Chains A and B, each alone.
Chain A
Amino acid sequence: MTRGLPPPLLAALFVLAACAPLLLAVASGEPPEALQAEAGIGLGLAALALMLLQFAHSGRLETIAGRIGIDRTMRVHRSAGIALAAMALLHPLAFVAPPLFTNPELALRGLAGMLRAERMQSGVIALALLLVVVAASLARGRIGLAYQRWRALHAALGLAAAAFAVDHALRVGLYSGSAPLRAFWLGGLALAGSALLWTWAIKPIRDARAGWRVASVAPLGPDYWEVTLHRPSGAPLSFAAGQFAWLAFGRRAPWDDNPFSIASAPGDPRLAFVIREAGDLTRRIGALPLGSPVRVDAPHGAFVLDPSDRRAVLLIAGGAGIAPILSIWRDLAARPDAGAVRLVYGAWTAERLLYRDELARTAAERGFGLFLRVILDASILREALTGLDPNATVAMVCGPTPMMLAVAATLERLGLPPEAIRYERFDYD
């Protein structure tokens, strides 16, 4: 199990890698061109560096996402994508900038002439592909593009855009002709391709060979199923309570998998998942044949408690968000040294409050606090915190995003420091 690099190191590496081509350009010793040309070059160099970096923080590499979580990783990926598209768009405009304001017609003619030149072709293709990738990502929901299809398209077009952009830099770049910058671009492209190859080819084959199979499928309540997996060797998966797995039921394309939080405790030879009937895949869950193969890419996510943390633990779950919370609850219940643990759990209806018997039993046996409610509100959170020092409590929140944000805001009002409130979002808008 990898835990990933610490956030300050990742941030420093990100800025250093994104600015490395600018530094290499300065170090090349070439005298700078006019201001607008240097601005254009700088935008191009940074845009391409950010584009290559996108392949490192695609969310599947635990060295990157292991500590900061998929939440922060994908947020950087999304914002960097928009920023690099803006830089790439401004890149050609900067070269014609001065007449753009005094004589726009002349500037646009100059721009058109520049873009039509044969040696600029790969740059124009790269920019067009990049804009398609970013636009499709921002409008995916609105244009009804299925998540799995979009993901495959996103990776393929993204790599093609990066390859054309590197070709463009090597063909026409003023500074990119220098050996160090040339090596940086080619090395970066090779790493980007390797990251995709690892994620979409090597890793899926290894994950499929792990031999996980469906062990049971049982209804838990209206719209909810519990699916457990096992493997013939009986070896448990090494993970921390609160993490999630990418699952592909049956034989599916490498990009055709979905994230599900693990509900079982670490050490359990069976992996349990709580699956709500919602999308195309999850509507067929009840009909999953026992023994059918499942590709498991796990563990992922940083929604975990630090084992050395001695603070009281407040768990808050909404709906299907009970899955990782249940894993943490079960893990804490198995630890003789667990301190104060309280669980606040809400669902739309009482029948959708899952695992009630088990939760009540553990609460009685271990003296854990249990607060079950149909609707969560500030009063129940206040009640659950009664007798606990907000400065010595860590809250783990999982549920629909609006619920998690509302709960986090309420907990802050109740005195919990922001760094003591943990949640992991799976939407990044």
Chain B
Amino acid sequence: MKRDAAKSLRAFAAELAIYAVLVTGYFFLVLHVLGGWLFRLETQHRLLYAFIAILLIAGQAVLLDAIATLLFRLVRGRSR
């Protein structure tokens, strides 16, 4: 029981570490590229910005959920 818990914790820590690396890369690549464009959009085309904002957050939710689930499966699969 204790060994299982330790294994799960190790797998979760590995998952978090990989996820953290991916997310850091995501910050620098995507947000730096999008930042200026979104700022201009917010000041000049509010309606379009509102649509893009919802699309971005929903798209990121689906994408990151898929990545997290895939990582979860990969790391858990290897730890067994």
Partners in one complex: no
* Chain B residues with a Cβ under 8 A of chain A: none
